């Protein structure tokens, strides 16, 4: 993946400072706190609007999927580490080989690292690169969904199960039939569960057409509809798809598909869906423009109408998030690269309050910090 131009980051960093000069301090805590100061805030401040909490400083974590299980917040992140693989546009430097699960009893409270929940060596079909996971719960079983390249270096999505939310999880013999690409996010809508997935560039979505792998990087022309995230309803056992994956169309306010050349708004990776007051919110990373954008629909399949940006670029190339409601408040989990001094493949998870506005929009979070 490419390194973002520093000038763009610096410009976004200046915006909150200009706002302060104009009398607004809404971004001040997010932009002025170093990682250590944020940890300090964790001890001293109540759950305020502008506080950014860190998940852990004990290991590198990224791509956080947060859920409330058994009254606690559980976080399912990627586990970054330095594998020595050089950086490239396909994300080879994200060479992760296991997952840890974290939990906390309260916002800003102590965080428990439950240790290795799933290891590459315990997935029979896996080759390399354990990327952004997610989890779901049904009956007395917890399901852990993870993308990893198979032994032919093609991303597939696997599922592993456990009797408790922290694992350890036991992986199935094979990936989910019909799954491909990466970044699974499983959304529960009443009795139904849907998996959203996909990502371009390193996520290989551009190498698939109609569920078939053709192996070539093929992108639509700039004026054509962008490559879409996929969605499939899950079977009752949550171990397979109940239907072939379909495209999730993202359109502008006029109903026109967001085009491949519209890098500020088009889908790149990191789909997440939550529901707020009956509306379905699809949020996703715009990749090379580094935003978390969002779009809304009246059903889980879409089309979703583009609404704006909910998280501006953070330190590091990638931007990846999840949204969860806990005890009445909404929380945005995300990562940046502040703990490693800006190294894109060594990230750390953070979280902060998220606000839905009365008109259905979401208040934009600006969490950029300098390393
Ligand atoms: O962590 C590896 C990849 O980086 C994820 O799968 C993407 O969403 C990006 O965050």
Per-residue pLDDT tens over the stretch 193-241: 999 999 999 999 999 999 999 999 999 999 999 999 999 999 999 999 9
* Residue 268 confidence (pLDDT) above 80: yes
Smallest CA-to-CA distance from 80 within 97, 56, 64, 105 is with 97
* Residue 15 confidence (pLDDT) above 50: no
Distance CA 287, CA 229 (A): 13
- Long-range Cβ pairs for the range 257-260 (8 Å, 24+): 257/225, 257/226, 258/225, 258/226, 258/306, 259/220, 259/222, 259/223, 259/224, 259/225, 259/226, 260/219, 260/220, 260/221, 260/222, 260/223, 260/224, 260/225, 260/226, 260/227
State the CB neighbour count (10 A cutoff) for residue 156.
22
Distance 21 CA to ligand 1 centre (A): 36
Residue of 63, 134, 183, 366 marked active site:
63
Quote the tokens at residue 148. 């990893």
- What CATH number is associated with residue 43? 2.115.10.20
Structural domain tally of the chain?
A: 1
Distance CA 371, CA 317 (A): 13
* Residue 321 confidence (pLDDT) above 90: yes
Look over the chain and give the mean of its residue pLDDT values, rounded to a whole number.
89
Q: Is 269 a catalytic residue?
A: yes
**Residue 115 domain-assigned (yes or no):** yes
pLDDT in tens, 84-132: 999 998 899 999 999 999 999 999 999 999 999 999 999 999 999 999 9
Share of the chain above pLDDT 90, in %: 85
Distance 126 CA to ligand 1 centre (A): 17
Which residue's CA is the closest to the ligand 1 atom numbered 2?
131
**Domain encompassing residue 199:** 2-354
**Residue 228 domain-assigned (yes or no):** yes
Decide the pairing of beta strands 250-251 and 304-311: parallel
* pLDDT score recorded for residue 175: 98
**Residue 294 domain-assigned (yes or no):** yes
Smallest CA-to-CA distance from 65 within 256, 272, 329 is with 272
Distance 318 CA to ligand 1 centre (A): 7
Using pLDDT thresholds of 50, 70 and 90, give the confidence band for residue 48. low
**Residue 368 domain-assigned (yes or no):** no
**Residue 369 domain-assigned (yes or no):** no
**Residue 82 domain-assigned (yes or no):** yes
* Residue 367 confidence (pLDDT) above 60: yes
pLDDT in tens, 164-192: 999 999 999 999 999 999 999 999 999 99
Distance CA 342, CA 326 (A): 30
**Residue 226 domain-assigned (yes or no):** yes
Pocket test for ligand 1, best of 3, 4, 63, 349 (most atoms within 8 A of CB): 63
Distance CA 141, CA 146 (A): 16
Residue of 262, 269, 336, 366 marked active site:
269
Distance CA 277, CA 291 (A): 24
- Rounded to a whole number of angstroms, the CA Rg of the chain reads 19
* pLDDT score recorded for residue 43: 38
**Residue 363 domain-assigned (yes or no):** no
Pocket test for ligand 1, best of 2, 132, 343 (most atoms within 8 A of CB): 132
């Amino acid at each position: 993946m490419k390194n973002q131009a520093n000038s763009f980051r610096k410009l976004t960093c200046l915006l909150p400072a200009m706002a302060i000069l104009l009398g607004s301090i809404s971004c001040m805590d997010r932009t002025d706190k170093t990682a250590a100061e944020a940890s300090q805030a964790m001890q001293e401040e109540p759950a305020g609007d502008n506080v950014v909490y860190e998940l852990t400083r004990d290991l590198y974590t990224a791509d956080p999927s947060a859920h409330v299980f058994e009254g606690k917040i559980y976080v399912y992140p990627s586990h970054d580490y330095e594998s020595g693989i050089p950086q490239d546009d396909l994300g080879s430097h994200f060479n992760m080989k296991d997952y840890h699960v974290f939990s906390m009893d309260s916002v800003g409270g102590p965080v428990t690292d439950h240790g290795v929940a799933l290891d590459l060596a315990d997935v029979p079909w896996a080759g390399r690169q354990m990327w952004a996971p997610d989890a779901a719960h049904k009956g007395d079983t917890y399901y852990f969904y993870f993308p990893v390249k198979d032994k032919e270096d093609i991303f597939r999505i696997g599922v592993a199960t456990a009797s408790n939310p922290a694992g350890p999880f036991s992986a199935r013999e094979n990936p989910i039939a019909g799954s491909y690409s990466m970044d699974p996010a499983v959304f529960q809508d009443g009795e139904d569960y849907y998996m959203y997935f996909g990502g371009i560039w390193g996520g290989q979505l551009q190498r698939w057409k109609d569920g078939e792998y053709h192996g070539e990087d093929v992108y639509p022309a700039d004026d054509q509809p962008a490559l879409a995230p996929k969605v499939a309803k899950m079977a009752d056992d949550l171990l397979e798809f109940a239907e072939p994956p379909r495209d999730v169309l993202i359109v502008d306010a006029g109903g026109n598909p967001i085009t491949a050349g519209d890098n500020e708004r088009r889908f790149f990776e990191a789909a997440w869906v939550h529901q707020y007051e009956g509306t379905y919110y699809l949020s996703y990373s715009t990749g090379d423009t580094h935003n978390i954008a969002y779009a809304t629909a009246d059903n889980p399949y879409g089309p979703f109408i583009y609404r704006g940006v909910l998280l501006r670029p953070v330190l590091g190339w990638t931007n990846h998030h999840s949204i969860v409601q806990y005890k009445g408040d909404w929380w945005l989990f995300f990562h940046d690269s502040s703990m490693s001094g800006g190294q894109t493949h060594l990230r750390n998870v953070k979280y902060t309050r998220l606000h839905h506005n009365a008109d259905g929009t979401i208040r934009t979070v600006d969490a950029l910090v300098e390393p």
